Structure 1
Amino acid sequence: MNVVFQQIVYALVALTVLSVVLVIISENRNPVKSVAWILLLIFLPLLGLIAYFLIGQDFTKKYAYKRKKHRGKDQAFLIKSDQVLDEQEYPRAFTAPVKLLKNIQNALLIGGNDVKYFTLAADKYRQMLADMEEAKRFIHLEYYALENGLWGDALKDLLIRKSARGVEVRIIYDDWGCWRTKKSYFKELIDNGVQVRVFSKVRILPLTARLNYRDHRKLIIIDGLIGYIGGMNISDRYVNGFNWGCWADTHCRIAGPGVVQLQSVFLSNWQRQSGEVLWEDEYFPLPASCGDNALQVVASGPGSLDPEILHVMIQAFYSAEKYIYVQTPYFIPPEPLAGALQAAAIRGLDVRLMISKRSDLPLVQMASRSYIREMLERGIKVYFYTRGFLHSKMMVVDGELSIMGSANADMRSFEDNLEVQAFIYGRSAALRAQEIFLEYQQDCEKINLERWKKRSRLKRFVESFMRLFAPLL
């Protein structure tokens, strides 16, 4: 009887696996991702089935419908700004990425912005709170992780106080990213007049693929005059670090006409989450020029027709003439991105890749390290940050373009998550970003190709095996 029962169970599992494989094939996904899922289902059928039903189902068409419903309104109002630059004013070396962004997302190039970078979370939090204290009309936040603690509680108290004084406060937070946050944290905000929306609430039954598509953005907009974008969430661990090292990250504060683009990204998502339409002129003031940097902001998500952030990064790398510096916590690049970096190194550019020697996600780290050898063989300089965990997502090109936002250099950021990235054209901002990169480099171990080749065969095999599942990590 037990043998018969086992055979029935095996047959049901096999039939379920076959059905799921047929569904994956019929969805016409990215072939690399489809193959990864099929391999997981074949090698580890039970684990594969559980993982597929948790995070593998493709709900992007449903999300795309919602996005399409609101698309087109996002940046149409930008034509009003007298800081919108025409083609004659585009940065010469980066005309191609500027035009690409304008065509795929109507992201106009807006000049007159002041940009300030932060490498210490405490400095960012202090400046953020000081700017919010001066808010007169509205404060908008969109965060993957917004946690209670010293800084999270200070933010909560300030937002409650500003709301009581008539300032409109709106928050979008990611349910999965805020799993550490007590529910009472958001309840207290709501009870005191703050408008709060949760992105893609995670439910036990059904779990569906909501775990897979997350709002990974870290955005603040204050009165339409000041904005924040970068890699730092709101959490004490960004200040305190780990018992084995610091948390190394970057974020930037933008003041000037370009903030309107950050506001556009937030209000587009707010409309999807709440149904509230806020496209009146009062939410889009036209700040005076206060700096010498031009910028474009690009948002992407699972409903995007194209991986916009990926496309523009690749175009920027192919436009580079001198150097490309990349910081990312997770390096699992799609082939076109890896190819763009390798091609730049082959044609003689100084290409540097900085990742963390120790990661908070060991499986991702193993897959990431499978790419190191091919980067080194093409002449890319690879650095492992050793003082702690490097979470920065900053890139610098030729001392003229700096790229800052929430997207990691991995497939999840380019295809699955809601992300936002600022492409900042200006020598002052880019040179400061370059300084930051070189400061971090002092705490790095430079990887030598010959020594890297001599690592144990088992370690190299495990990394290569994990690479097979890189699209799922």
Structure 2
Amino acid sequence: MPILSNLLWINIILAIAVIIMERRNPTTTWMWITILVLLPGFGFFIYLWLGRSFKKRKMFEDKFVKDRLQSHGLIGGKQILHRDMDKQQIFPFNEYADMIEMHFRNGDSVLTMDNEFFPIFDGEEFFDMLFKEIENAKSSIYIQTYIMRSDNMGKRLCEILKKKAREGIDVKLLIDGMGSRRLNSSDIKKMREAGVQVEIFFPFFLSFVSPRINYRNHRKIYILDGKIGYLGGFNVGDEYYDGGKRWESWRDSVIKIKGSAVYMLKYRFILDFNFASGSKHVKYGDEINEFRGKSACQIVTSGPDNEWPSIKDGFLKMISSAKDSIYIETPYFIPDDSVLESLRVAILSGVKVKLLLPFKGDHPFVFWASLSFAGKILEAGGEVYFYKKGFQHSKVIIMDNKMVSMGTANMDVRSFQLNFEANAFIYDEKIAKQFSEKFIEDIRENSYCLTFEEYKKRSNWIRIKENVSRLGSPIL
């Protein structure tokens, strides 16, 4: 009994410490207090592993400072370009001037206006194009991905990278320790022996164990010769190519980029690669950009090392600025209160909000939590669709068919607060319409529309699963 009594007192003290020391969202705070109370002792170890935001601040303080110092050398000149744009240059984007300024102030996201974008929605098309670009690379190949496995697609990429490294090409691969845990160490060793510079972002110090397991580099960036870039939702694995063994097909989005926006992708890659390698030896070589497109874009990145959630702020700005419509594609819909309220206000203001989710989830708790939040959209008068032709993994938000944000960030708390993410905010009506047309095609031909009346008739068992899953939504 004395031991149990001491455990209870320790939990009470720790719960108070959480409230005093952590400047958290109250919902998240109460979730952790509940875990501490219901799981005496064990709950505190869970909190130490996954929940400490003061640990997060300390963990990423050095990264934030180093990134800022390196930024002066990497994009200093481009910041001047941004500030010195005259009114004639910025005039076509007056409608988005405040959003452009917000992104620049929030995260040094430079506006580039000489880009060309080519959206891709099919895994086979994307990987066939990517591997061809890699084969044709003349100077450098930089790849950053969250997931890479030792399956057919992963082995195929390993072989190509080893071949190019032996040819003398500068080949760098950055993978996440958690997401790429199924990439065999033997494959990594062979790539390094062939000359591929492989770095692991937050590697495990023991199998499946890491004090930083909750912070994941979720970015997927592919850069060839510093002149062609790809950004989107595709990791490296069999399912991303054609659905693999589990899914009928894989619905995703990636955008091929030419123009100065590729510089910004390369800038982000180098900062992450240097952090993972623990060195500053990778320099930012300014290739001559001979391409001159006409599309404007800001590459916006966010992560637990940022003071403010840059990508989420961009989403909020898009939602509040919408006059006609907001279309959202996301595999996981677990928004925080600010995003959910913003969507509700938009719907009540007459904006058509349409949400596309996967019909079957890849993570059960995340799926049921997403359904719970989707119910709030239906209740306000929005429309919710479930993609049935395989798995819907695309991460896109389209405003008024005029501008689009796409990339690696899901519409969930994890992407807003815990993951390192990268999105392109594209100010081009033509490109936005391409994404919009694909969205409309999917909801008409490949999706199931859930009505509010049908949602209200769901079983008590589904309601229980929703409620239980929603309790853990801050860390899902």
Could you tell me the TM-score, scaled by structure 2's length? 0.92
Q: Please show how residues 282-361 of structure 1 align to structure 2 within 5 Å.
A: 283-361=285-363
CA drift of 1:409 comes to 0.6
Residue 263 of structure 1 is matched in structure 2 by 266
CA drift of 1:437 comes to 1.1
Give yes or no for the alignment of 1:37 onto 2:39.
no
Q: Please show how residues 58-73 of structure 1 align to structure 2 within 5 Å.
A: 58=53, 59-61=55-57, 62-71=59-68, 73=70
Residue 76 of structure 1 is matched in structure 2 by 76
- Confirm or deny: 8 A CA contact 2:99 2:314 kept in the other structure: yes
* Partner SS state of residue 104, structure 1: helix
Q: Please show how residues 179-198 of structure 1 align to structure 2 within 5 Å.
A: 179-198=181-200
* C-alpha distance 468-430 of structure 1, shift in aligned 2 (>3 A): same
- Confirm or deny: 8 A CA contact 1:225 1:259 kept in the other structure: yes
Determine the C-alpha separation between the residues in 2 that align with 1:208 and 1:127.
Answer: 36
* C-alpha distance 22-227 of structure 1, shift in aligned 2 (>3 A): same
CA drift of 1:399 comes to 1.9
1:468 to 454, 466, 471: 471
* C-alpha distance 456-44 of structure 1, shift in aligned 2 (>3 A): farther
Query: Quick one: which amino acid aligns to residue 35 of structure 2?
Result: L
CA drift of 1:301 comes to 1.1
Give yes or no for the alignment of 1:216 onto 2:218.
yes
Q: Please show how residues 426-445 of structure 1 align to structure 2 within 5 Å.
A: 426-441=428-443, 442-445=445-448
Q: Please show how residues 66-215 of structure 1 align to structure 2 within 5 Å.
A: 66-71=63-68, 73-74=70-71, 75-79=75-79, 86=86, 88-89=90-91, 91-204=93-206, 207=209, 209-215=211-217
Query: Quick one: which amino acid aligns to residue 23 of structure 2?
Result: N
* C-alpha distance 404-72 of structure 1, shift in aligned 2 (>3 A): farther
- Confirm or deny: 8 A CA contact 2:82 2:111 kept in the other structure: no
Determine the C-alpha separation between the residues in 1 that align with 2:122 and 2:208.
Answer: 40
1:51 to 46, 49, 52: 46
* Partner SS state of residue 177, structure 1: coil
Query: Quick one: which amino acid aligns to residue 131 of structure 1?
Result: E
Residue 459 of structure 1 is matched in structure 2 by 462
1:21 to 11, 15, 25: 15
Residue 10 of structure 1 is matched in structure 2 by 4
Question: Which whole-Å deviations, capped at 9, do the CAs of 1:113-171 have from their partners, x for residues lacking one?
Answer: 11112222121111111111222221111111112222222221221121122211111
User: What is the percentage of aligned positions where both structures have the same residue?
Assistant: 30
Determine the C-alpha separation between the residues in 1 that align with 2:294 and 2:84.
Answer: 13
Structure 2 segments unaligned to the other structure (5+ residues): none
- Confirm or deny: 8 A CA contact 1:231 1:405 kept in the other structure: yes
- Confirm or deny: 8 A CA contact 1:37 1:472 kept in the other structure: no
* C-alpha distance 153-67 of structure 1, shift in aligned 2 (>3 A): same
Farther-moved stretch of structure 1 (119-128 vs 55-64): 55-64
CA drift of 1:457 comes to 3.0
Question: Which whole-Å deviations, capped at 9, do the CAs of 1:175-216 have from their partners, x for residues lacking one?
Answer: 110122111111111111111111111234994531100111
Determine the C-alpha separation between the residues in 2 that align with 1:381 and 1:295.
Answer: 29
Determine the C-alpha separation between the residues in 1 that align with 2:368 and 2:179.
Answer: 23
Count of residue correspondences: 466
Q: Please show how residues 403-418 of structure 1 align to structure 2 within 5 Å.
A: 403-418=405-420
Could you tell me the TM-score, scaled by structure 1's length? 0.92
Farther-moved stretch of structure 1 (38-47 vs 159-168): 38-47
Determine the C-alpha separation between the residues in 1 that align with 2:468 and 2:153.
Answer: 40
Query: Quick one: which amino acid aligns to residue 256 of structure 1?
Result: G
Structural RMSD (CA): 2.3
Residue 424 of structure 1 is matched in structure 2 by 426
Determine the C-alpha separation between the residues in 1 that align with 2:171 and 2:84.
Answer: 28
* C-alpha distance 354-422 of structure 1, shift in aligned 2 (>3 A): same
Determine the C-alpha separation between the residues in 2 that align with 1:452 and 1:19.
Answer: 42
Query: Quick one: which amino acid aligns to residue 401 of structure 1?
Result: M
CA drift of 1:305 comes to 0.4
Residue 255 of structure 2 is matched in structure 1 by 252
- Confirm or deny: 8 A CA contact 1:94 1:319 kept in the other structure: no
Determine the C-alpha separation between the residues in 1 that align with 2:26 and 2:367.
Answer: 23
* C-alpha distance 280-84 of structure 1, shift in aligned 2 (>3 A): farther
CA drift of 1:359 comes to 0.5
Query: Quick one: which amino acid aligns to residue 405 of structure 1?
Result: G
- Confirm or deny: 8 A CA contact 2:270 2:283 kept in the other structure: no
Query: Quick one: which amino acid aligns to residue 307 of structure 1?
Result: P
CA drift of 1:81 comes to 6.3
Determine the C-alpha separation between the residues in 2 that align with 1:372 and 1:162.
Answer: 46
Q: Please show how residues 357-396 of structure 1 align to structure 2 within 5 Å.
A: 357-396=359-398
The ranges of structure 1 where at least 4 consecutive aligned residues each deviate by more than 6 angstroms after the TM superposition are 80-84
Farther-moved stretch of structure 1 (150-159 vs 351-360): 150-159
Determine the C-alpha separation between the residues in 2 that align with 1:89 and 1:158.
Answer: 45
* Partner SS state of residue 232, structure 1: coil
* Partner SS state of residue 175, structure 2: strand
